[in-house]
Structures are given as structure tokens and as C-alpha cells.
Structure 1
Amino acid sequence: MRIATWNVNSIRARLEHFAAFVAAARPNVVCLQETKVADPQFPAAAMDELGFPHRAVRGEKGRNGVAILADRPFATHWQWDWWGQPDARHLAVVPDAEPRLELHCFYVPSGGPEADVDANPKFAHKLGFIDEMTAWARDDRLADRSVMILGDLNVAPLETDVWNHQRIKRQVGHTPRECERMAGLREAGGFTDVGRHFVPPDQHLYTWWGYRHPQSFQKNYGWRLDHVWVTPPLSAHLDRHAVWSQTRGWQKPSDHVPVVVDLA
């Protein structure tokens, strides 16, 4: 099974890019974040034409939004709110063909501009969101189940997950508090970080190049914000991992690129 995740930064604005990606990558399941569209306006007909007739969508007009698209049916799907906020940041499915496999698509809050929970409620929201994910992973004993979490987790946890650790270590997305939270979440679920399973931690690996610096992609000023993690029952089935960085060089691209994982 080939599974992809992509913060597409508006599915309607990036529909041609999405079509080009799935034609080349041929995933069975795609998890999207920042779809930025209310459910009635989601481009369902286009997804049918692209080979994804099975969908779970949870959108908001102009912001947030997640979707899971598949070429095969779901046995079930559901959504949860996190940290008391009814925003569209989570969806989960169980594929009909793999009834013991849970796929959880997450869009973790970015956290705002300042790493201060008192001055910046958005940062408090982000830490609280991750804390709730950690409690879920621990209390529901995810380590004993076949669970994959994937999406834009909005934290670059390792020094080699950013282009310049010394310059960035106090910026939201790479602060010690966030990196420690992510380590706690990973430990609570017994998760394998799939990216670092295939690419050693001493090598730089990125999935996001921001818009603010016009040459960020050309100069490789990247961060690794998009992740795929699996619990122990799935780790032996990991077959392949790819970061589709070429999509960042397309015309009017998303600032994130797809990550693709194969399960054998």
C-alpha cells in the first residue's frame, strides 16, 4: 500500500499540482492538510476522475481542513476535536482491505509568531494539542496496535530537520519545548519516525520551504515539518520513503511537499 501526505495549501488552488503528483506517484491513499475549503465545495468530481472515489473530508472555508482520499473503500472513518477546539485538524480511517490499520491525518497548529504561552495563545494551543495527542497515544496503548499518524505536525524535531539550527532554535516550530513534546509523543506511542528510519539523523531532510524568503527553495532553507510515524506492529512493513521536493519548484506551489511511504 502506498500512502502519501501533503499540506497542499488549498486543494482548489493546487488541483493541477495534485493531479500531476498522483499521476506520477500513484498512491493508494492521500492525506491532505490545509485544504482550505468547506465540505460542500470540496472538488469531489475531480477526485473521482483522478481515481479517488472514497473520501473522508473535514473542511473549513479559507483555513485549516483535512481530507483522506483513497482508491479503495473505508471500513469506517471518524474525526476528533483537540484541545477543545472544533477546527478541522484531524481525520482517521480504517481501510476496508486492512481492518487492523488505522490512519490518522493531523494538521497540528503552527503556533503563531512567539514561543510564549502567556503572550501567545496560539503557542499554548499548539503545546496543548500535542499534549493531548501524547495522552491519547499513551492511554489508548497505541504501541500495541497498527497505527500510522501522518501530516503536517508543524515541528522540526531534530537539528538536521532545519537548515540552520543555531539561527532557528528559538523560532516556533523548532524550540526546545516543542521538540521535547514531540519526543514525548513519539515515546508514548512507541512510534518509528519513518523519515528518519530511511534517512539517518545526521543527514539534513526537509519538507517545507517558506514563502517569506523568495529564494528559500533555491537556497535550500528548509524545515522538516511533515511526518509519517508508525507503531511497532507496522515498522517491520516499512518498504520505502520518498520526499517529493520537486513539487516545490512548480509554478505557484504549496510551501510544503508530499511525503510518500510504502507498506509491504
Structure 2
Amino acid sequence: MPFTLATWNINSVRLREALVARLLSEEAPDVLCLQECKSPVEKIPTEQFKALGYTHMVARGQKGYNGVAILSKLPMQDAGDRDFASLGHARHVAGQLENGITIHNFYVPAGGDKPDRTINEKFGQKLDYLTEMRDWFHAEAPQKSILVGDLNIAPREDDVWNHKQLLKVVSHTPIEVDHLAQTQDAGGWVDVTRQDIPEGNLYSWWSYRSPDWDTADKGRRLDHIWATQDISNAAHGSRILRPVRGWEQPSDHAPVFASFDL
């Protein structure tokens, strides 16, 4: 069963309902994973999405913050969620397709501004969140699984616009990169995007603070698609839809796509 999957930090699904509908209409992925929905589940605007063929959804939400949702054209069952680091946040949900593939949708904490947990509680929460993800994957080795989401870390030197300048900036610090690598290794996850696009600068996020984000191009690859080794060879066609960052009233993230022949 071939299918195409996309992940996108939408930065309020209710505010950007029209952008989600446009992406679904123009690109028609079989599955769309959204992060930072900022909405209780019952207030996610599903009617327009259903009209476009996305009749299945699993989601976890809360008012004004966080929130993750998986929209699907394909039949999908709710496969649960976990509260990593006991934050009480809606940051993870899983759905299982009829072919047995489990899709994990994550919104890892951003970590605040200072990369020092002794003065910045949010940074400590981010590291703890990743540590508990790692420990879970060690304890329960994932199989036939895809992990997507805004992981809020750009791990490689060519995942950021300037490696040296960002070494002390949250999202690219060595300790975060190490924590993400341990999490990836624990589950035997393959970075599908970099499997398909192994070289060159690649970004999925550009700050709102840059008035001319496209020309400045000071981006970071914070959004990821991983697959377990038993299905990673079935992945192909990875791409980041950079033009979406330029749509009217956009999210500061662009959608990331991959296809799977399973």
C-alpha cells in the first residue's frame, strides 16, 4: 500500500484552517501530521478536512498550547499517547493504519532561550523529554513505525544556516544534538529526509523575526520524518515545501513530505 505522509507545525490549526485545507487540496498527502494545533480536540475544525477526504483523525489537544493531530484519508485507529517528562502537555499521539504501520506524531518542547537547565527550566524539560523517549525506545523497540514531527532540534551542520553561530543557540547545541542522536539510535530510527537528500543545506523553519525570511534564508531543519529500519528502504520522494512558508499569514514552519511503498 503506497502512501504519502506530511508533517507540519501549523502554529494554530484554527487560525490556519484555510492553509491546511489548501495544502490538502493542492498536495493531497494520504496522511498529514500537525503539531502546535493550540486547540482542544473538539474544537479542531474537521468539517472542511472531512470534505476533502480526510475522514479519519486521532488527536490530543489543549487550549492555546501544544496539541498534535493526525489527519488521514486512510482508515486509522488511535494507538495511544505518552506523557513524556510528565509535563501534562499534548505533545504525542500515535495512529495505526490498516497495514500495521504505526505513525508517531511528536511535538518536542522548544526549550526556551537559554541552553542551561540550571537557569532555564524549559531547557531541562526538553532534555528530560528526549531522555524518556530514548528510554521508551530502548524498552519497547519500535517496528513497522514512522516517527514525525517538530522535534525542535536541527542535528547536522547543514541543517542550520550557520553551524558555528548556532552552537550556543537552543535547537543546535551539542547537548541537544547528542540527546536526539541517542533517541534516534535507541529506536533504530532512520532519518528518511536525509536518506533521500544526503547532502546540502536543508531547512524547514524560518523565524518570524526576519522580515525577508526568503532572502536572508537563516533557516533550521527542525521538522523530521524517521522510519524504523524494517521499512526505511520503502521510503522515497522526500521534500520540504519551502514555498508554503510564504503563504499569507503562514506558520513559521514548512511541511515535510515523504512517500512509502508498503
Q: TM-score range by the shorter chain?
A: over 0.9
> In the alignment, which of 33, 38, 41 is matched to residue 40 of structure 2?
38
State the Cα distance separating 1:216 from its structure 2 match: 2.3
State the Cα distance separating 1:31 from its structure 2 match: 0.5
Aligned to 2:160: 162
Aligned to 1:186: 184
Indicate the SS of the match to 2:179.
helix
Aligned to 1:209: 206
Indicate the SS of the match to 2:34.
strand
Unmatched segments (≥5 aa) in structure 2: none
Q: Distance in 2 between matches of 1:21 and 1:191?
A: 27
Matched-pair contact (CA < 8 Å) for 2:58–2:78: no
Aligned to 2:250: 253
TM alignment of 1:102-121, pairs within 5 A:
102-121=102-121
Q: Distance in 2 between matches of 1:49 and 1:117?
A: 46
> Which residue type is aligned with residue 184 of structure 1?
Q
Aligned to 1:244: 241
Post-superposition Cα deviations, 1:73-101, rounded to whole Å, max 9, x if no partner, equal 223421111101111000001112x12x1
Aligned to 1:70: 72
* 4+ long deviations beyond 6 Å: none
Indicate the SS of the match to 1:24.
helix
The number of aligned residues is 259
Name the TM-score, length of structure 1 as normaliser: 0.96
Matched-pair contact (CA < 8 Å) for 1:5–1:259: yes
Matched-pair contact (CA < 8 Å) for 1:76–1:95: no
Aligned to 1:55: 57
Unmatched segments (≥5 aa) in structure 1: none
> In the alignment, which of 220, 223, 226 is matched to residue 226 of structure 1?
223
Post-superposition Cα deviations, 1:180-202, rounded to whole Å, max 9, x if no partner, equal 1111111111111011101124x
Name the TM-score, length of structure 2 as normaliser: 0.96
Q: Distance in 1 between matches of 2:85 and 2:180?
A: 16
Q: Distance in 2 between matches of 1:41 and 1:217?
A: 33
Matched-pair contact (CA < 8 Å) for 2:108–2:150: yes
Q: Distance in 2 between matches of 1:263 and 1:206?
A: 22
Q: Distance in 2 between matches of 1:207 and 1:232?
A: 24
Aligned to 2:150: 152
State the Cα distance separating 1:50 from its structure 2 match: 2.0
Is the aligned partner of 1:29 residue 2:31?
Answer: yes
Matched-pair contact (CA < 8 Å) for 1:33–1:107: yes
Is the aligned partner of 1:138 residue 2:135?
Answer: no
Range that drifts further, 68-77 or 12-21: 68-77
> Which residue type is aligned with residue 144 of structure 2?
S
Aligned to 1:173: 171
